[in-house]
Structure 1
Amino acid sequence: MTKIGVLLLNMGGPDSLSAVEPFLYNLFSDHDIIEIPRLIQKPVAKLISKLRAKKTRHYYEVMGGKSPQKEQTERQAQALQRELGEDFKVAIAMRYWHPFTEEALEELFKEGINRIVLLPMYPQYSKTTTGSSFNEFDRVFKRFPQVPVVKVKSYHDHPLYIKAMVENIKENLPNWEDYFFLFTAHSLPVSVIKRGDPYQKQTEETVRLIVEHFPKVEYALGYQSKIGPVKWLEPPTDKLIEETIKAGYKRIAVIPVSFVCEHSETLYELDVSYKKLAENLGVESFVRIPTLKDHPLFISALKEIILSHL
């Protein structure tokens, strides 16, 4: 009997405070994200992770001591498993912390799978996210039985994904007409975009398609989570918050578009740091729309995406 393995690919996050530094080391060791000369990449990653660990630990202390991403991705996998049925086996593969790709593949092959679908939990493609996860899979997969592999590159404009985003906003913001929509996405170095990475265009297209469902709403798109001195995509989300409030908008809905699970970027950067900034500037209402997680429409979208690629 044919059994298809589905790997949900995500970034992962530290599952304890003691995991913060090794998580950062794994992140900064990834040449797809940090383009340091390979000969010195790991020593530099060791130094950066040690220097950043204390500040980053504080984020996770505020968040309850760990990232919720693993549990949320597991719930997505469980919901998708129920939708797909017994002919499929869904597992999760994290890029920078457990369960790693090798652990996920071991789980799949115990089930006797004879085909694999790689489904990134990044709706918009970038070489730094989906591309990195695909590269890691290709490296690890060489040690396993060779079966056909289908790679889903992106679904930034998939109608059901857009519908899920729209419904999620309406469910969490019934009086959406009263708000300025401030979309926010993880930033990238401009140099990556200039080399042909489609992430910025796909993110802008996602926002355009969502806004079509909200007549006359005013909106903007900003980018967050810049690291290092190089030029990154702009405008920065925090500066956009300042400009929006100074322009007279007092009710702001912040909508993450490049995240489908909660991270430190949403739970700390948006919910703590940027919210405090907005309150200090006199905002009347600052609503952060939660990520999709296992929203039923999003799970339906993932199912449809898998079946269409098969």
Structure 2
Amino acid sequence: MSDLTEKDYACLLVNFGGPRNLEEIESFLQELLCDQDVIRTNLPPLIHKIIFSRVAKKRALKIREDYEQIGSKSPIFEDTEAIAAMLQESLHIEVIPFHRYLKGTHSHFFSKVNSLSQKELRILPLFPQFSYATTGSIARFFLSRFCGKILQKMLWIKSYPSQTNYIDSMQRVLRDFLLEKGLSEEETILLFSAHGIPQKFVCTGDIYQKECELSFEKIRKFFPKAQHLLSYQSKFGKGLWLTPSTEDMCKTLVPNTKKRKNVVLVPLSFTSDHIETLFEIEKLYLPLLQERNFLAFRCPALNRETHWIDAMGKILSDPSLFATTQMLIRHKEYKLGCKNCCKNSCLCKG
């Protein structure tokens, strides 16, 4: 499927969504935690749902105050809707946003997709780095909800961790931020923080860590005089997650009295600001650095930057990034490595 005219394809812009008000926190968390691509257990789906619905209820009460500190909602829903409208205006194609964990938005989405006449549906996840827990989860969800006729139209942008236009947008946001704050590279540590995943996901074939490292290496080259670090945040539950953690990094960084007095936390795997950046980075991690006598800053995510909208248009037109739905889905029975040849050295300990 190539050389299509403007009207021959539509775009599905997919994201997690986020609570639009305080009352929606619990239902959002329930949908998220009951997704067995995100929280992997060996429990039957019904038992998993019962247990993690209770967890969601408790956690919603716990983080309600966090959301109150960032405006009593997540900006992701509004940002995704706005980006879809901007992309539609820019490319002159139909762009339909999808919010994976906002169940109340699904019926309208499915109705619109099923009514499309375009020959091809190009799916653009707002996750630059692929994981079975993000893009893979949405692919499985679509496979279980759409008929074969619709699925055959779908071409996914699997990921774009090193795609030129994405990298350029990332470095532009960071460079503009450094200029705005008057920060020189020579005096600055750039701490790139990506969302973490369990180490066991990586040990069973998830490429997310490699793609985060690839993005990190590409972006850092634009700032050769700065110091660069990569860490992972937002651990949930027990077990080993990707390391180093952003929290530990912020607790152990030591100021260099001669040079490095600034730390800029750069959201690597987040294209929109939300609870993990506006609260976790801003309210939890920056104070840890300030206690260690750093001048600490949070760089904004890509959000609605016009150059990011332009970059997405280029990404949608890059056939080297295309994949089919079935190629993105984790086979639950598939096990790799850590219980066999490397069971004694695997970080996740089987």
Task: Show CA shifts across 1:168-216 (max 9, x none).
Answer: 0011111341210000000000000001111001000101000111113
Alignment of 1:241-280 (within 5 A): 241-245=250-254, 249-280=260-291
Could you report, residue by residue, the CA deviation over 1:25-63 in whole angstroms, capped at 9, with x for unpaired residues?
111110101112134111111111122111111111111
Asked if 1:71 is matched to 2:99, the reply is no
Shift of 1:102: 4.4
Q: Is residue 173 of structure 1 aligned with residue 182 of structure 2?
A: no
Structure 2 runs not aligned, ≥5 long: 323-350
Instruction: Please state how far the C-alpha of 1:111 moved relative to its aligned partner.
Output: 4.8
Q: How does 1:157-306 map to 2 (within 5 A)?
A: 157-174=162-179, 175-177=183-185, 178-245=187-254, 249-283=260-294, 285-306=295-316
CA distance in 1, matches of 2:255, 2:168: 32
Quick check: 41-50 or 183-192, which moved more?
41-50
Return the alpha-carbon distance in structure 2 between the equivalents of residues 204 and 245 of structure 1: 23
Matched, 1:125 2:130: yes
Using a 3 Å threshold, how does the CA distance of structure 1 residues 259 and 270 change in structure 2: closer, same or farther? same
- Match of 1:10, as an amino acid? N
> Structure 1 counterpart of 2:134, which letter?
T
1:295 Cα deviation after fit: 1.6
Contact 1:114 1:147 in 2 (8 A): no
From 144, 150, 153, the equivalent of 1:148 is 153
* Per-residue Cα deviation, 1:256-292 (whole angstroms, up to 9, x for no partner): 1100011210010001111222222322x21111000
Moved more, 31-40 or 241-250: 241-250
CA deviation map 1:61-109 (0-9, x unaligned) = 1111111101111121112112211xx2001111111564543232244
**Among residues 52, 55, 61, which one is paired with 1:54 in the alignment?**
61
The alignment status of 1:12 with 2:17, answered yes or no, reads yes
Matched, 1:136 2:137: no
Preserved contact between residue 183 and residue 207 of structure 1 (Cα < 8 Å): yes
Cα contact 1:5–1:90 (8 A) shared by 2? yes
Give distance in 1, aligned partners of 2:20 and 2:122.
Answer: 26
Question: For 1:82, which of 85, 89, 94 is the aligned residue?
Answer: 89
TM-score, reference length from structure 1: 0.93
The whole-number CA distance in structure 1 between the counterparts of 2:169 and 2:290 is 29
Tell me which amino acid in the other structure corresponds to 1:167. Answer: R
Distance 1:153 1:132, change over 3 A: same
Gaps in structure 1 of 5+ consecutive residues: none
CA RMSD of the aligned region, Å? 1.9
Identity of aligned residues (%): 32
Give the AA of the match of 1:227: F
TM-score normalised over the length of structure 2: 0.83
Radius of gyration: which is bigger? 2
TM superposition shift of 1:143 = 8.3
Residue in 1 that maps onto 2:33? 28
CA contact (8 A) 2:31 2:103 kept: no
2:281 maps to amino acid: L
Go from structure 1 to structure 2 and tell me whether the alpha carbon gap of 1:99 and 1:297 turns closer, same or farther (over 3 Å shift).
farther
1:176–1:6 Cα change, 3 Å: farther
Instruction: Tell me, yes or no, if the aligned pair for 1:14 and 1:67 is still in contact at 8 Å.
Output: yes
Q: Spell out, residue by residue over 1:220-253, the C-alpha distance to the aligned partner (whole angstroms, 9 max, x if none).
A: 1010000111110011101111222356543101
